[in-house]
């Protein structure tokens, strides 16, 4: 059982005391049939208050509160824009804030230019050839990836298999990451850390979004291999450097038509999907950590007011005595709230036992295992069915009522995909991509994309700048 981490220092008042990785998926039962909201979203005119729920306070909120951009027609080609035409502010306002996917073409931004070197596999072999990696393996040519069957090998052996031998059954995807003493997962796997001088932690284009995980994807397929229909929990910047990828996308508005393996609890206005027993805030913090962070923040503020009251007493200011009494009561309440939050976290841990389950204890390091069989966020709809109307009619009829968007991402292009958009990706040729995941924004300001300081504070505590 993992020990509870120490309480947050007051200086970092909004720090989360401990967070479950909300990216971990646990197997769950099949989705119940929840009817989707009727109104399709307009493709334009997303207002600045995009992420505010419009449900009156006394009404039961609908399960799907998605309020961002949705695919406007049955089969829609995603537009492409020139990278040179957008500043980070414009990109935030027109795409990130509106939850609108887009393809970016043109010369890679300066801060990403060094990753061009990766196109030469010899460069990668020299840098990380001896590293050991977990590689996904599919058992037949028909099977899609994303099933969680992994084997360990050196990066060199993996490249030898797929490039020299033309093998298309192995695929390099997300890797396990280490956790720090608080159990907070690292941003990157050891593999990516060995290449960290080649890319920024926070690409300029993504403005003030806080990164959550950075990965490399490598495969080889003549006829195209599919990753399987699923969604992720974070905003994705997907940069293709070699090969070609065809994406099929569905917005979170169509979640109930996607036959997810997990039992749907809620779709937040910004699209973030929650499954039962895994509820989070819209920006993806688990509820207990969020409550703990808020309580810690209030305690910090109460301490400050107590200090001010003590100064007022020393200076003999009128009303200082009452001010001190009020401040003491406030601090007492705030401390109680912190203790309550910590107790809730303890209870949650001992009930589910799941926090520990996500780690493998090595000598001193702990590994956050990112691979889960049958994850909630995958669809039961086989990729091979998606182009077969008859099969869909028989097995998954709701999919036929969802609007799909398509795009081809060629080498040198980027896809921006907001959190919880469903996607099925087919990769062609020897393919290589770098992807960033960012915590999903729920605010509406380029400078402050999150409604609280939870992720910015977490990031600046761990990595220094934010």
Ligand X SMILES: O=C(O)CCC(=O)C(=O)O
**Taking CB under 6 A as the criterion, which residues in 179-238 touch ligand X?**
217, 227, 232, 236, 238
Output the smallest distance, CB 248 to ligand X, in A: 11
Which residue number, 280 or 377, has a Cβ lying nearer to ligand X?
377
Q: Residue 151: count other Cβ atoms within 10 Å of its Cβ.
A: 11
DSSP secondary structure code for residue 222 in this structure: E
As measured in angstroms, the least distance from the Cβ of 116 to ligand X is 19
Q: Left (φ > 0), alpha (ψ -120 to 50) or beta: where does 120 sit?
A: beta
Q: Which is nearer to ligand X, 423 or 444 (CB)?
A: 423
Nearer to ligand X, 272 or 423 (CB): 423
CA angle, 243 then 246 then 252, to 5°: 140
Instruction: Tell me the number of residues near ligand X by CB under 6 A.
Output: 11
The residue at minimum Cβ distance from ligand X is 227
Nearer to ligand X, 134 or 295 (CB): 134
Q: Does 309 bind ligand X (CB under 6 A)?
A: no
Shortest distance, position 464 Cβ to ligand X, whole Å: 27
- H helices of 140-255, where? 155-159, 190-193
Q: Which CB, 93 or 377, lies closer to ligand X?
A: 377
Give SS3 for 357: helix
- State the nearest-atom distance from the C-beta of 410 to ligand X, in Å: 14
Distance CA 289, CA 298 (A): 14
Under rule CB under 6 A, residue 175 binds ligand X = no
Max Cα-Cα span within the chain: 84
Instruction: Kindly state the smallest distance separating residue 232's Cβ from ligand X, in Å.
Output: 5
For ligand X, give the closer residue by CB, 214 or 368. 214
The 8 Å CB, 24+ separation contacts for 356-363 are 356/1, 356/2, 358/20, 358/21, 358/24, 359/2, 359/179, 359/183
Binding residues among 386-445 for ligand X as defined by CB under 6 A: 423, 425, 427, 433, 435
Backbone angles phi, psi at 68, to 5 degrees: -100, -165
Rounded distance, CA 53 to CA 57, Å?
10
DSSP state of 231: E
Pairing mode, strands 177-179 and 102-105 = unpaired
245 belongs to the binding site for ligand X (CB under 6 A): yes
Q: Is the CB of residue 420 less than 8 Å from the CB of residue 247?
A: no
Give min distance, CB of 325 to ligand X, in A.
55
Question: What minimum distance in Å lies between the beta carbon of 346 and ligand X?
Answer: 34
- Residues in contact with ligand X by CB under 6 A are 217, 227, 232, 236, 238, 245, 423, 425, 427, 433, 435
């Amino acid at each position: 059982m993992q020990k509870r981490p120490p309480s947050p220092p007051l200086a970092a008042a909004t720090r989360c005391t401990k967070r479950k990785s909300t990216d971990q998926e646990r197997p769950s039962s099949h989705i119940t049939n929840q009817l989707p909201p009727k109104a399709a979203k307009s493709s334009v005119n997303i207002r600045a208050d995009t992420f505010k729920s419009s449900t009156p306070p006394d009404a039961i909120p609908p399960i799907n509160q998605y309020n961002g951009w949705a695919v406007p027609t049955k089969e829609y080609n995603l537009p492409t824009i020139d990278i040179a035409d957008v500043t980070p502010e414009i990109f935030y306002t027109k795409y990130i804030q509106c939850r609108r996917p887009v393809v970016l073409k043109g010369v890679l931004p300066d801060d990403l230019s060094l990753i061009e070197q990766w196109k030469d596999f010899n460069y990668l072999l020299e840098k990380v050839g001896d590293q050991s990696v977990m590689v996904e393996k599919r058992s037949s040519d028909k099977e899609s990836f994303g099933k969680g069957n992994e084997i360990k090998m050196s990066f060199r052996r993996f490249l030898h298999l797929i490039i020299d031998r033309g093998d298309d059954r192995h695929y390099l995807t997300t890797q396990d990451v280490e956790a720090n003493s608080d159990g907070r997962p690292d941003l990157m796997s050891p593999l990516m850390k060995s290449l960290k001088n080649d890319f920024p932690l926070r690409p300029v284009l993504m403005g003030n979004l806080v990164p959550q995980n950075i990965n490399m994807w490598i495969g080889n397929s003549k006829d195209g291999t599919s990753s399987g229909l699923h969604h992720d929990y974070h905003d994705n910047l997907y940069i293709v450097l070699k090969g070609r990828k065809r994406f099929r996308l569905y917005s979170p508005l169509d979640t109930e038509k996607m036959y997810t393996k997990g039992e749907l609890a809620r779709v937040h206005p910004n699209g973030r999907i929650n499954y039962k027993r895994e509820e989070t805030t819209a920006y993806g913090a688990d509820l207990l950590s969020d409550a703990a962070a808020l309580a810690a923040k209030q305690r910090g503020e109460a301490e400050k007011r107590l200090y001010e009251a003590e100064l007022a007493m020393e200076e003999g200011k009128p009303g200082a005595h009452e001010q001190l009494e009020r401040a003491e009561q406030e601090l007492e309440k705030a401390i109680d709230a912190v203790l309550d939050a910590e107790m809730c976290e303890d209870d949650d841990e001992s009930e589910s036992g799941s926090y520990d389950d996500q780690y493998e204890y090595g000598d001193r390091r702990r590994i956050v295992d990112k691979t889960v069989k049958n994850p909630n966020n995958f669809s039961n709809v086989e990729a091979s069915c998606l182009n077969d109307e008859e099969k869909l009619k028989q097995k998954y009829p709701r999919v036929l009522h969802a609007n799909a968007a398509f795009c081809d991402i060629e080498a040198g292009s980027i896809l921006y995909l907001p959190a919880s958009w469903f996607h099925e990706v087919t990769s062609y040729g020897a393919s290589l991509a770098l992807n960033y995941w960012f915590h999903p924004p729920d605010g509406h300001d380029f400078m402050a994309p999150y409604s609280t300081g939870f992720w910015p504070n977490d990031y600046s505590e761990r990595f220094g700048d934010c």
